[in-house]
Chain A
């Protein structure tokens, strides 16, 4: 029988330490909506999404109340649209009509975001892939809830440098197309290496082609809970530190597992995975950087940060895998800058640079995330940063991603405000030495030697 202290502990996590279920994401396959007629395709896409997900938001809210835990976001991920629209779309504008359909469907069912305006081009680009990528700036400028991602590399295929070069230009064009809103479009665009098929987190969620017709994936959060737990072991050795993180991660993930199975049952859709990520928000006390501080670093970015992040990421996984029957997605610690008050403070204090963040991405769950850079940055420089990050993912067989926001009209020292969960960020300096000739080469970087496992 549960005792009062356990009940109080759980409720303190929820009320004081910002424990929540970050997202219930319904993955929906749109492969059966493919059609050569664009209008017909749009009709089928709208109909399928609004039918499958009609009860998603209400179910999420009801479960949140039943268990007394906030379920912050309800989202949808769909099959990469480059595949769905390949036979109907002859121009980038044709693809934009699908983006608008997704946006309308998302608003109709009331979800926060819909992901999957995506192309998977880790080895090569089809005509449809290229058209979709070219349509991204307009699609993100003319929709509110659509999120886009492009997978440009993997450990098995190497890195598609043509796509990397193109994405540098697309990121800048997206920034330009949404400059009235501080280039907000770029906050909804992720470039991946080794993108997982079942990630529930935005902006990089899509419903992979290896997935079933529909699936429920759940992402949990709770950096504040880990931070509070570590307060009780100040000064203790690393063994104790790791044990504490592991136990806490277990508890957090169990909540995700519960919500995932309940949501799956209520909606009649199979349960996919729990993504046991520590996802920060701009709220104080909901920060991954504050965990580093609790571990003994003055600021995120101080020497020791990469080690601290490595152990945090690993212990979160060790605690989480036992708590859930299926773990997937990105799972680990996220290190977005604008969405984490402690990271913002670290940048403002001069403790955290883009180069240190890059090093940290070798051991975190994803990559360079929500980093605002000057709007005057060259497209090739952005491509160079993407290439570096993709190389880290390819060689280390991990997911890496880039979500940079070149804020048009702003420069180092300015602050950009995105609002809500996306937070705000100081513009960070970028190394502007040229990589033009390197990026201009084109072609592919071959897969690494350790990809040959057959």
Chain B
């Protein structure tokens, strides 16, 4: 099963997780794991999700979340896990 990695980077996190989770639930995307950390004063959140049952394609989810991010002033990216696997695992 291939997973999708969602990252949220921004200054503040009130309501952000709720917004992202609502979108994911509406689109049948299952959250497998959430972790977060602070890097250089920026809030970084990573979600590992399973989007295989979603009616939407990877690139559509990425576009939608990008738009939601712009609405609330944070950067939200959804990326297929392969890019990270390829780069960090032999």
- Chain A interface residues toward B at CB < 8 A: 1-11, 15, 62-63, 65-69, 251, 254-255, 257-258, 262
Are A67 and B44 within 8 A (Cβ)? no
- Bound CA span A255–B85, Å: 10
Min distance, Cβ B86 to any Cβ of chain A, angstroms: 4
Set of chain A residues within 8 Å of B82, measured between Cβ atoms: 67, 258, 262
B10-44 residues at the A interface, CB under 8 angstroms: 35-37, 39, 44
B31-87 residues at the A interface, CB under 8 angstroms: 35-37, 39, 44, 46, 48, 57-59, 62-63, 75, 77-87
Are B88 and A67 within 8 A (Cβ)? no
Are B80 and A67 within 8 A (Cβ)? yes
> Pick the contact of A2 from B9, B57, B59, B85 — CB < 8 Å?
B85
Min distance, Cβ A150 to any Cβ of chain B, angstroms: 37
Min distance, Cβ A49 to any Cβ of chain B, angstroms: 25
Min distance, Cβ B52 to any Cβ of chain A, angstroms: 14
Of B5, B9, B78, B84, most buried by chain A (CB within 10 Å of CB) is: B84
Are B58 and A66 within 8 A (Cβ)? yes
> Pick the contact of A8 from B39, B58, B79 — CB < 8 Å?
B39
Are B7 and A7 within 8 A (Cβ)? yes
- Bound CA span A258–B80, Å: 11
Query: In the complex, what residue of chain B is closest to A322 when comparing beta carbons?
Result: B90
Are A65 and B88 within 8 A (Cβ)? no
Set of chain B residues within 8 Å of A251, measured between Cβ atoms: 87-88
Size class of B's contact patch?
20 to 34
Min distance, Cβ B87 to any Cβ of chain A, angstroms: 5
Min distance, Cβ A69 to any Cβ of chain B, angstroms: 6
4 more A-B contacts (CB under 8 A) besides A7-B7, A7-B84, A8-B39?
A2-B84, A4-B35, A254-B86, A262-B82
Between A and B, 14 residue pairs with Cβ closer than 8 Å are A2-B48, A2-B85, A7-B5, A8-B7, A8-B37, A10-B88, A63-B59, A65-B59, A66-B58, A67-B83, A68-B62, A69-B83, A254-B86, A257-B86
Set of chain B residues within 8 Å of A15, measured between Cβ atoms: 75
Set of chain B residues within 8 Å of A10, measured between Cβ atoms: 83-84, 87-88
Query: In the complex, what residue of chain A is closest to B9 when comparing beta carbons?
Result: A11
> Pick the contact of B62 from A11, A65, A258 — CB < 8 Å?
A65
Are B79 and A258 within 8 A (Cβ)? no
Set of chain B residues within 8 Å of A66, measured between Cβ atoms: 57-59, 62, 79-80
Query: In the complex, what residue of chain A is closest to B77 when comparing beta carbons?
Result: A68
- Bound CA span A251–B84, Å: 10
Contact A65 to B87, CB < 8 A, known contacts A2-B5, A7-B7, A8-B39:
no
Are A6 and B83 within 8 A (Cβ)? no
Min distance, Cβ B31 to any Cβ of chain A, angstroms: 15
Contact A11 to B58, CB < 8 A, known contacts A69-B83, A255-B87, A258-B86:
no
